[in-house]
Homo-oligomer: A and B are copies of this chain.
Amino acid sequence: MIPEAEVGDWQQEVDVVVAGQGVAGTCAALEAHRAGADVLIVERASGGGGASAMSSGIFYLGGGTAVQEAAGYEDDAEQMAAFLMASCDPLDPNAALAFCRDSKAHFDWLEAQGVPFERSYFGGKAVFLMDTTCLMWTGNEKAWPYREAARPAPRGHKVAGAGENAGAAGMQPLIQRCEDEGIAAIYDSAVIALVKSAEGRVVGVKVKQTTGTFFVKARRGVIIACGSHNLCQPLLDQHLPLLSETSEPLAIPSNDGAGVRLGMSAGAHAIAMDGVIPTASIYPPAQLIKGIIVNRNGERFVAEDVYHGRLANFVMEQPGQTAYLILDEEIFAYPENPFSNHTLVDGWETIEEMEAGLDLPAGSLVRTMAQYNADAEKGVDTRFHKHPDWIKPLNKGAFAAFDISFDKSSYLFITLGGIKTDEVGRALDLKSNAIPGLYVVGASAAHIPRTGKAYASGLSLGPGSYFGRRAGAHAAGANWG
């Protein structure tokens, strides 16, 4: 943080500086520009897109979007809000409620910018799809207890791009819009410091290029949209010691925590820094969900049908971070997730042999499976409330176990913490007072879900794009809605 008094010359002056051209920054720039602000995008890479373009391109949206309607799913803002409130218990319920209230309109806005969404639906269990199918279930909507709190609906909206980096198909039209509308952008340029006035308002930034540094004044506000701290080892060491050596960040090189560090430098407060969604999903194929997962004590600890990030969070917390996926012959298959690297331990004729083979306490697995199977005969799971769709007694033929331990498989992760913000993306200090002139959006801000147990795929791009727009509009002084 640099005091304004120490800035000799402002080399450039605009209304709004947007740091980062991922989905949040791009949407912020578009809204600010359209509200009449003079905007400058400052992006570290040689072009826009950020981690959003490298992502699988899923936006969490609902409330009755055209895609949900086409798939025959009823949804409304109230049910979507009920789900997010029950699963995330958001720190700022009003921000979450606004996101839900505006979600349908936000989907329409994204489409109007040219972001392509098919009217297509996948009803099965997948982490993401390699084709252009749009709508799918990406969270804990059908998992207990959330299914009791809100009517489940699929809300993962994937842009119509193929492959594992489908996000690019969503970012391309958004960046094109910025160009078409003449929004200024400089690349290979990093915001390395914020400038604060004597009154405590953020009034500009210091920019670094290979040729040197310079100052840009921001008359109305600075919007930080620099992405996550997935690659910031000091922050990971401090807040996420549970990540194992086999954990792999989902990140691009600039995800070094610049956003959260810039925010903190201006007095903003970082929250949920111990939040992470790790994943090494056991599916596809979906039938593996009919197995059970046990820890080193031979005990189940989670409903196997929950969102893969929730399951992984529980694995991370088990004794020795050890867990096994147990299958019988009827549902046996190799996990097909190419990243997970789950290894087959062995196959056994009896549960007793499996218990010994996995070195579990004597009698523990026999007891766990007897209890599970007794429940399963009635189609229920009295301990963890797995959905009946995924329940069957595990007693057909031989047995097998995959090692899904946290330090054995390859758990990919995304950090969820970041700067605390309000409904319009303003950066907040410890006691939730807004810091004048400063906005933080996208993965530089804390996600609505503060732990991977509450995450749903699409809760980065969905809220990132929405609160990006809110910040852009607010900084430019525009009314919303």
- A433/B320 contact (C-beta < 8 A), A89-B453, A299-B94 known: yes
- Chain A 315-336 interface 0/1 with B at a Cβ cutoff of 8 Å (1 = within): 0011111000000000000000
- A93/B302 contact (C-beta < 8 A), A149-B144, A242-B431 known: yes
Give Cα A320–Cα B319 distance, bound, in whole angstroms.
Answer: 40
A383 nearest CB neighbor, chain B only: B97
> Which one of B145, B319, B385, B430 contacts A242 once the chains associate, using CB atoms below 8 Å?
B430
Number of copies: 2
With a cutoff of 8 Å between Cβ atoms, the chain B residues found around residue A162 in the complex are none
Stretch of A78-86, A259-267, A344-352 contacting B (4+ beta carbons < 8 Å): A78-86
> Which one of B91, B299, B453 contacts A317 once the chains associate, using CB atoms below 8 Å?
B91
- Any B CB within 8 A of the CB of A301: yes
Give chain A's interface secondary structure class.
loop
A321 nearest CB neighbor, chain B only: B431
- Chain A 293-310 interface 0/1 with B at a Cβ cutoff of 8 Å (1 = within): 000010101100000000
Give Cα A97–Cα B300 distance, bound, in whole angstroms.
Answer: 11
- Chain A 441-460 interface 0/1 with B at a Cβ cutoff of 8 Å (1 = within): 00000000000010000000
Give Cα A382–Cα B78 distance, bound, in whole angstroms.
Answer: 7
User: What total of chain A residues lie within 8 Å of the partner, measured CB to CB?
Assistant: 40
- Any B CB within 8 A of the CB of A360: no
Give Cα A433–Cα B81 distance, bound, in whole angstroms.
Answer: 38
With a cutoff of 8 Å between Cβ atoms, the chain B residues found around residue A301 in the complex are 92-94
Give Cα A460–Cα B97 distance, bound, in whole angstroms.
Answer: 33
A37-68 residues with Cβ-Cβ distance < 8 A to B are none
Give Cα A78–Cα B148 distance, bound, in whole angstroms.
Answer: 16
With a cutoff of 8 Å between Cβ atoms, the chain B residues found around residue A81 in the complex are 383
- Any B CB within 8 A of the CB of A159: no
Give Cα A213–Cα B434 distance, bound, in whole angstroms.
Answer: 53
CB distance from A155 to the nearest CB of B (A): 18
- Any B CB within 8 A of the CB of A268: no
CB distance from A375 to the nearest CB of B (A): 11
Q: Which of A91, A149, A453 has the most CB of B within 10 A?
A: A149
* A319 in contact with B149 (CB, 8 Å): no
- Any B CB within 8 A of the CB of A246: no
Q: Which of A78, A93, A97, A428 has the most CB of B within 10 A?
A: A93
* A319 in contact with B145 (CB, 8 Å): no
With a cutoff of 8 Å between Cβ atoms, the chain B residues found around residue A256 in the complex are none
* A321 in contact with B432 (CB, 8 Å): yes
- Chain A 374-387 interface 0/1 with B at a Cβ cutoff of 8 Å (1 = within): 00000000111100
- Any B CB within 8 A of the CB of A241: yes
* A432 in contact with B320 (CB, 8 Å): yes
- Chain A 23-40 interface 0/1 with B at a Cβ cutoff of 8 Å (1 = within): 000000000000000000
Known: A86-B148, A144-B149. 17 other contacts (CB 8 A): A82-B385, A85-B384, A86-B145, A91-B317, A92-B317, A93-B301, A93-B302, A93-B314, A97-B383, A145-B149, A145-B150, A149-B149, A319-B431, A319-B433, A319-B434, A320-B433, A321-B431
* Residues of chain A whose beta carbon lies under 8 Å from any beta carbon of chain B: 78, 81-82, 85-86, 89, 91-94, 97, 144-145, 148-150, 241-242, 297, 299, 301-302, 314, 317-321, 382-385, 422, 428, 430-434, 453
The 10 listed contacts between A and B (C-beta, < 8 Å) are A85-B385, A86-B148, A89-B453, A92-B301, A93-B384, A94-B299, A148-B149, A242-B430, A318-B432, A319-B422
